[in-house]
Amino acid sequence: MSEPTLETVTTSTGRRLRTEEMVVNMGPQHPSTHGVLRLEVVLDGEIVVDVIPHLGYLHRCFEKHCEHMTNYQQVVPYVDRMDYVAAMTNEHAYVVAAEKLLKIEVPERVHYIRIIMAELQRIASHLIAIGTFGIDMGAFTPFLYYFRDRERILDLFEMTCGARLLYNYMWIGGLSHDLPPQFTEKAKEFCTDFKRTMKEVNDLLNYNEIFIKRTANVGVLPKDLAVNYACSGPMLRGSGVDWDLRRDDPYTLYDRFEWNVITGNGEMGSVGDVWDRNMVRQREMAESVRIIEQALASLPEGDVQKAVPKRIRPVPGDAYGRVEGPRGELGFYIVAEDSVTPYRLKARAPAFVNLSVINEISKGAMLADLVAIVGSIDIVLGEVDR
């Protein structure tokens, strides 16, 4: 990738030629903006000179809505709709923040089930991320392989709470239902089968020569820039920062299980390139499977609704609760006053923050690389725009 040149060129006959920049709108209706993102792209030929993201096409006043609920619990279905690809994680983040505000201790069984759900959701979300990233690269097939397995996760969720996409499963202080009888064996079965799919897709996509050529050394996000932009999740770990909230800022019982934090190591190019980010997701799924298997094996007994408060009216104050979502640090900042509804609820959406770095890392890349970069950030516009 060379620097874009815009100098005046003179031909042998003395005629002056000038290359001109072209402005194209990538989106809001474009196949690879993963929703209704609009990127105003300044191009010099195929080379990206500037990218100006325009957001808000999916803005639904989420934060305003949350201030007008009749109680704290009613916010949960709303946060589901924020990041519709990983609704369980959103609920988890919200209930973690609310429980921090209310100082509620939840039973161990609730913790375990939440971990299982969050990790299943992480796998489901990464499956979409890697699958659609494959589509961005022109490989359609891995997407459908992964959707087959995502379907089984959604079946597990449906078994548990009746919904496949937007669950309203986690309550403040507990869960809406306990696990159904066959859940454990079905989930174990899934874990076994899923390991095979991961190998398949590794062969088909992640270690494909063309795929490596397309993704290695593209969209390199250096470590200090990633931290300065507060990138999180696979974005941050892909840049080689060993940081995972599950381990480093424990909000639930992850310390009881044996698992590793995956970081990018520049295996195919430089640290923090698109390949690294994608591979962090791929390898994280294997770790999630390990966590699920251990959690299923040591699931404690208990009543999942024991700690659910009858009426929620916190003391005035504020709390910021965060969890490690599939896309990164998902936080909720709740300001409470003497009322039954949140006075102010701000969602710190990881995709929103991760996307803000796009201009920085895509300058000088080619148009096709821009598609790869957008794909590797793994944005969900429902979360970016809220």
Partner 1 sequence: MTAQEIHDLLKERFGDAVTAAKLENVPDPFAVVAADRVRDIALFCRDDERLRFDYLMCLSGVDYKGKFGVTYHLHSLTHRHKFVLKVEVPADAPNVPSVESVWRTADWHEREAFDLYGIVFTGHPDLRRILLPYDWEGHPLRKDYQVPEFYNGMRVPY
Partner 2 sequence: MTDFIATLLNDPIVTTVLLAFVPLVFILVYALVVLYGEMKMAAHIQNRLAYMENGWHGTLQPFADMLKLLQKEDIIPAAADKFFFMLAPYLVFVGTYASFAVLPFSSGFIGSDIDLGLFYLVAASSLVVVGLLMSGWASNNKWSLFGALRSAAQIVSYEIPGVLAILGVVMVTGTLNMQTMTQMQDGGIQNWLILGGNFPLGQKLALIPVMVLLFVIYLLSSMAEVNRTPFDLPEAESELVQGYNTEYSGMKFAIFYLAEYANLFLVSAVVVVMFFGGWTSPFGSFMSGPVWSAFWFVAKGMFFVFFNVWLRWTLPRLRVDQLMYVSWKVLTPFAMAAIVAVGFIMVM
Q: Under the rule (CB under 8 A), what is the footprint of partner 1?
A: 55-56, 59, 61, 63-64, 100-101, 103, 225, 227-231, 241, 243, 248-249, 317-320, 322, 329, 331, 333, 335, 344, 346, 348, 352-353, 356-357, 360, 385-386
The interaxial angle of helices 183-201 and 108-136, nearest 10 deg, is 30
Using alpha carbons only, how large is the chain's radius of gyration in Å?
A: 22
**Burial level of 14, CB count in 10 A (0-12/13-18/19+)?**
exposed
Partner touching 81 among partner 1, partner 2, none, CB below 5 to 8 Å by kind: none
Minimum separation from the CB atom of position 234 to partner 2 (A): 20
For the chain, the farthest-separated pair of C-alpha atoms sits apart, in whole angstroms, at: 87
C-alpha separations of 200 from 84, 87, 137, 153, 170 in Å: 27, 27, 17, 18, 33
Q: Is residue 368 within the footprint of partner 2 (CB under 8 A)?
A: yes
The whole-angstrom separation of Cα 361 and Cα 217 is: 11
Q: Is residue 355 within the footprint of partner 2 (CB under 8 A)?
A: no
User: Is the CB of 169 or the CB of 243 nearer to partner 1?
Assistant: 243
The whole-angstrom separation of Cα 341 and Cα 66 is: 8
**Can you read off the two tokens belonging to residue 34?**
């993963």
Segment interacting with partner 2, rule: CB under 8 A, options 7-15, 136-144, 155-163, 277-285: 136-144
Q: Is residue 138 within the footprint of partner 2 (CB under 8 A)?
A: yes
Q: Is residue 144 within the footprint of partner 2 (CB under 8 A)?
A: yes
Q: How many residues does the chain have?
A: 386
Residue 39 parent element (H or E) = strand 38-44
Partner touching 248 among partner 2, partner 1, none, CB below 5 to 8 Å by kind: partner 1
Q: Is residue 24 within the footprint of partner 2 (CB under 8 A)?
A: yes
User: Is the CB of 178 or the CB of 318 nearer to partner 1?
Assistant: 318
Contacts of 228 by beta carbon, 8 Å cutoff, 6+ apart = none
With CB under 8 A as the contact rule, the residue among 107, 131, 134, 321 that binds partner 2 is 134
CA angle, residues 217, 221, 223, in degrees to nearest 5: 125
Minimum separation from the CB atom of position 133 to partner 2 (A): 10
User: Is the CB of 129 or the CB of 137 nearer to partner 2?
Assistant: 137
With CB under 8 A as the contact rule, the residue among 122, 214, 246, 281 that binds partner 2 is 214
